[in-house]
Amino acid sequence: MVALPARERPQLRCCGASGCRHAGAGPLLAALRAAAAAGGPAADDMSAGASAALQPLEVRSVGCLRLCGEGPLLAWDGPEGTRLFGGLAPAAAAALVDQVRGVASLPLAADPALAGHQLDLEQPFFRLQRPLVLEGCGIVDPECIEAALAHGSYAQLRRVLHELSPEAVREQVRRSGLRGRGGGGYPTGLKWDTVALQPPGRRYVVCNADEGDPGAFMDRSVLEGDPHRLLEGMAIAAYAVGADHGYLYVRAEYPLAIERLRLALQQARQQGLLGQGIAGSSFNLDLEVRVGAGAYVCGEETALLHSIQGQRGTPRTRPPYPAQAGLWGAPTLINNVETFAAVPVILREGGDWYAAIGSGNSRGTKVFSLSGAIRHTGLVEVPMGTSLRTVVETMGGGDPDGGAVKAVQTGGPSGGCIPAALLDTPVDFESLLALGSMMGSGGMVVIGQGTAMPEVARHFMAFSVNESCGKCVPCRAGTVQLLALLDRCLERGATAADLEALEALCAMVKATSLCGLGQAAPNPVLSTLRHFRQEYSAAPGAGR
């Protein structure tokens, strides 16, 4: 993933994903390319008469290199293996290129422009990762289909189209134990079967790339870092369920992802990997990008389908499930980005191989985005069942100021807070649910000692108030009242009656809301009440 095997001809991989772009990756990349060109021929424009004294130096823009908090990140692959740098200014580009070429006057460690910027690739943050979904992220140039093909993309699609029946594909996915990564954890193989086994007729395949949980950027990293893997997974899915048309629904807040996805679609069509008669088979598939309009609830599958149809993005009662009646009434397979992106590796290595990773009913790996009060913020992919402690303390490095972690929030506004005392919990669907939280899509926000938990609950409730679609009354009006109750608790401390009222309304909103947004909106309150109840009464004037 980040560290590559030693290689003779050096190359630079500069992270060009959103996180690092915000940290200044653009100017750094330009400066590196300029420095590489000034000192000698850069790889892209090597002319015949290039000086042999200077090695050609390839500078690639790649997807997320994981340790986003230290961005912009730069990997240097050479004969000594990979070295990683963080937070380099464009002014340091020349010094780095000199180091790569071996023409620097000072040793690396003594170079003032670079010293202190090198990051340890042997630290647990990198060492404990298990990249499957993110296999190509940070390695391939996401804007270049040749890079993706060289890295193995579309090989499984070709093989599947020529060698496997749709049923055989689904068999592998069933065996893999893969469950939906969009939050619900529904068994993917079962969903594919449900769509495939509907009466004959048109079917659709839809990728949910609406990633709306605050602090979550797993899907964005795949979209920005390795879009062809996603397209391959989706194409395999379409083949397995008999769909010939599909949509990628991406939130508007991801302009770079949208741009790269559109480019990737165009490249795939040019290569005959999408469109009519894919890879010489009789299989046809067209995929289109649909851009959301900024509503969180459009990540809910039925709302998303309405939105694709050009209607107001509100959820509807299920059943019928989209697998039975989705887009324009046709059976529709809808999966999350990460779910689709896990498919190529499952077919390459086999369902059983994938199922051997993970624990309990949660198989394979899961990508998490680590943020909040933590030393190493960024992207990690670990086997399911890894403990929260390993992720947060060992890999994430714990609290940046050396204090103790207070809690970990998983599952965003639908999830809950897990107290530090329970950090040994394995990260899998069931364990998190049992603690009143949930896996969600993979956002993990670490909460430090200084944060009051009722404030955290209030923050998420305010989110739900803003994002409720307004269709059903418990969510539309209930969350407003919950927010008011939380405000009262925060203002003057909760009385026993306040807490009782809070719990009663939470129960009602959870049980009676129409869709997952409302049903899960009380979770942050309930989980903090469960694990940090005393903090609710501790505010000024409590117990009056």
Ligand X SMILES: Cc1cc2nc3c(=O)[nH]c(=O)nc-3n(C[C@H](O)[C@H](O)[C@H](O)COP(=O)(O)O)c2cc1C
Binding site for ligand SF4 (CB under 6 A): 297, 314-315, 468-472, 475-476, 513-515, 517-518
Is residue 481 a contact residue for another protein (CB under 8 A)? Answer: yes
Tokens standing for residue 405: 């972690």
Q: Which of residues 70-99 bind ligand FES (CB under 6 A)?
A: 71, 73
| Residues 221, 365: Cα–Cα separation, whole Å | 15
Stretch that binds ligand FES, among 13-21, 91-99, 143-151, 206-214 (CB under 6 A): 13-21
Is residue 60 a contact residue for another protein (CB under 8 A)? Answer: no
| Listed residue (430, 523, 353) closest to 179, CA to CA | 430
> Smallest gap, in angstroms, from Cβ of residue 378 to ligand FES?
6
* Closest residue to ligand FES: CB criterion: 19
Give the DSSP H or E segment for 155.
helix 155-163
| Listed residue (199, 192, 254) closest to 223, CA to CA | 254
- Its sign, for the CA torsion 330, 333, 336, 341, is negative
Instruction: Please choose which of another protein, ligand X, ligand SF4, none residue 182 contacts, taking the beta carbon within 5 to 8 angstroms, the exact cut-off set by kind.
Output: ligand X
**What is the amino acid identity at position 452?**
A
| Listed residue (103, 55, 107) closest to 83, CA to CA | 107
Is residue 465 a contact residue for another protein (CB under 8 A)? Answer: yes
**Residue of 261, 469, 490, 525 interacting with another protein (CB under 8 A):** 469
| Residues 396, 324: Cα–Cα separation, whole Å | 42
Is residue 505 a contact residue for another protein (CB under 8 A)? Answer: yes
> Smallest gap, in angstroms, from Cβ of residue 107 to ligand SF4?
59
Instruction: Please choose which of ligand X, ligand FES, ligand SF4, none residue 186 contacts, taking the beta carbon within 5 to 8 angstroms, the exact cut-off set by kind.
Output: ligand X
Helix locations, 330-420, DSSP H: 337-341, 343-349, 351-355, 388-389
| Residues 410, 433: Cα–Cα separation, whole Å | 10
**Residue of 335, 369, 371, 527 interacting with ligand X (CB under 6 A):** 335
Q: Which of residues 435-454 bind ligand X (CB under 6 A)?
A: 441
Tokens standing for residue 512: 């009676």
Is residue 299 a contact residue for ligand FES (CB under 6 A)? Answer: no
Report whether 457 contacts 486 (CB < 8 A): yes
| Listed residue (236, 241, 220) closest to 274, CA to CA | 236
Task: Supply angle C-alpha 439, 2, 446, rounded to 5.
Answer: 35
Tokens standing for residue 84: 């990683």
Q: Which is nearer to ligand FES, 64 or 506 (CB)?
A: 64
Residues that bind another protein (CB under 8 A): 295, 297, 312, 314, 316-317, 319, 465-474, 476-481, 484-485, 497, 500-501, 504-505, 508, 511-514
Residue ranges in contact with ligand X by CB under 6 A: 180-184, 186, 208, 210-212, 297, 299-301, 334-336, 339, 441, 515-517
Chain residues that interact with ligand FES, rule: CB under 6 A: 15, 17, 19-20, 64-68, 71, 73, 378-379
